[in-house]
């Protein structure tokens, strides 16, 4: 009741009803599409999935693996199970790579085989402040996952589907909500001339666990050669946007309140 009064005072009666009608339309839309989640997290193998989550306003909290590269799903499971205890505990820095590629830094977690190129502070004070920052991010995300009814993990991986199913099963042991894994798979047999519809695969592993795969030619229109196209890492923007438009956040006030109370951001 208090929230209702505050909303009316903030927007006025007419404004409140307009927003409420918009909310009902949104809820009906996401229910019809069937791809609506409390929280959506990127699981690599690099920055592409995180970028498209952010582009489509589906990333409302920052997670430790968002902008990391070259890690396996087995590593992701290990980190979630251990609460990121050994994340970048042992690492090497390649200043030459960073300078040549004009990166903020180039660091490799040698214990977990993870590459970081977007954080310049990995090497500060032997990495301790960076590790604490990432552990704090995990604890905040973990609170959301433990309370979530519908969880989604998003990636663009081309490894065997059995590895994805294993990840789903392991995450299902840690979190009690329904978990959907959406994977974008690169179809090497096609090119830009291939017309839609593209391949779609869906499998229920259990009452709570579901795997969805979209498969298309995931190469940037200007090519995938990073030496001549600096946007190569975006993959196929048109197809990514088509998929991301099918995914929605449920606008769950419970999660927005948790984010606010725990100062959870999407930076």
DSSP class of 190: -
Residue pair 265/258 in contact (Cβ under 8 Å)? The answer is no
Q: Which residue has the higher pLDDT, 188 or 1?
A: 188
Does residue 1 surpass a pLDDT of 50? no
DSSP labels for 102-128? T-S--EEETTTTEEE-S-TTTTGGGGH
CA distance 125 to 146: 32
Paired strand residues for 211: 181, 203
Strand 150-155 with 178-186, pairing: parallel
pLDDT in tens, 146-155: 999 999 999 9
Q: Compute the distance between CA of residue 101 and CA of residue 86 in angstroms, rounded to an integer.
A: 27
pLDDT bin (cut points 50, 70, 90) of residue 253 is: low
Residue 256 binned pLDDT confidence (cut-offs 50, 70, 90): low
C-alpha–C-alpha distance, residues 239 and 237, integer Å: 6
Sheet holding 150-155, edge to edge: 39-42, 150-155, 178-186, 209-216, 199-204
Q: Is the model's pLDDT at 79 over the cut of 70?
A: yes
| Residues 13-21, mean pLDDT to the nearest whole number | 60
Cis-peptide, bond into residue 45, ω within 30° of zero:
yes
pLDDT more than 70, % of the chain: 78
Nearest CA to 151 out of 128, 124, 125, 174 is that of: 174
In whole angstroms, what is the distance from residue 47 CA to residue 155 CA? 9
Nearest to 171 by CA among 163, 243, 188: 163
> 80-89: per-residue pLDDT in tens?
999 999 999 9
What are the residues facing 115 on neighbouring strands? 69, 108
What is the pLDDT at residue 205? 97
pLDDT at position 2: 46
The pLDDT, as a whole number, for residue 8 is 47
Instruction: Assign 3 a pLDDT band (cuts: 50, 70, 90).
Output: very low
pLDDT of 250 reads 86
**Mean of the pLDDT values across residues 231-247?**
93
What is the pTM (predicted TM-score) of this model? 0.82
pLDDT of residue 39 exceeding 90? yes
DSSP code, position 233: G
Residues 114, 115, 118, 119: is their CA dihedral positive or negative?
positive
Q: 93: which strand partners?
A: 107
Give the pLDDT of residue 188. Answer: 83
Domain ranges within the chain, ordered by starting residue: 1-33, 34-261
Angle ∠(76,149,205) on CA atoms, nearest 5: 60
Quick one: pLDDT band at residue 260, thresholds 50, 70, 90? low
Cis peptide before 157 (omega within 30 of 0): no
Q: What span, in angstroms and rounded, lies between the C-alpha atoms of 186 and 155?
A: 11
The answer to whether 208 and 177 have CB atoms below 8 angstroms apart is yes
108 alpha-carbon distance from chain centroid:
21
What average pLDDT score do residues 246-254 get? 79
What pLDDT is recorded for position 17?
61
Question: Which pLDDT does position 29 carry in this prediction?
Answer: 45
């Amino acid at each position: 009741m208090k929230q209702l009064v505050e909303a009316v005072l903030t927007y006025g009666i007419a404004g409140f009803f307009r927003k409420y009608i918009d909310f009902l339309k949104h809820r009906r839309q996401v229910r019809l599409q069937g791809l609506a989640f409390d929280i959506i997290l990127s699981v690599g193998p690099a920055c592409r999935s995180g970028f498209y989550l952010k582009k489509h306003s589906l990333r409302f909290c920052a997670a430790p693996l968002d902008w990391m590269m070259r890690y396996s799903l087995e590593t992701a499971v290990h980190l979630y199970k251990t609460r990121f205890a050994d994340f970048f505990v042992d690492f090497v820095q390649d200043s030459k790579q960073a300078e040549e590629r004009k990166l903020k830094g180039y660091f490799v977690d040698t214990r977990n085989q993870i590459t970081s190129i977007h954080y310049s502070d990995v090497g500060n004070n032997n990495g301790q402040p960076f590790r604490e920052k990432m552990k704090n991010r995990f604890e905040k995300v973990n609170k959301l996952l433990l309370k979530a009814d519908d969880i989604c993990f998003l990636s663009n991986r081309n490894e065997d589907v059995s590895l994805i199913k294993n990840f789903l099963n392991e995450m299902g042991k840690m979190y009690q909500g329904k978990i959907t894994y959406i994977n974008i798979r690169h179809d090497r047999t096609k090119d830009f001339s291939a017309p839609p519809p593209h391949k779609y695969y869906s499998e229920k592993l259990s009452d709570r666990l579901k795997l969805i795969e979209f498969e298309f030619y995931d190469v940037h229109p200007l090519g995938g050669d990073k030496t001549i196209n600096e946007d190569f890492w975006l993959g196929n923007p048109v197809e990514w946007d088509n998929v991301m438009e099918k995914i929605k956040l449920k606008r769950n006030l419970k999660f927005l309140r948790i984010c606010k109370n725990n100062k959870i951001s999407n930076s």
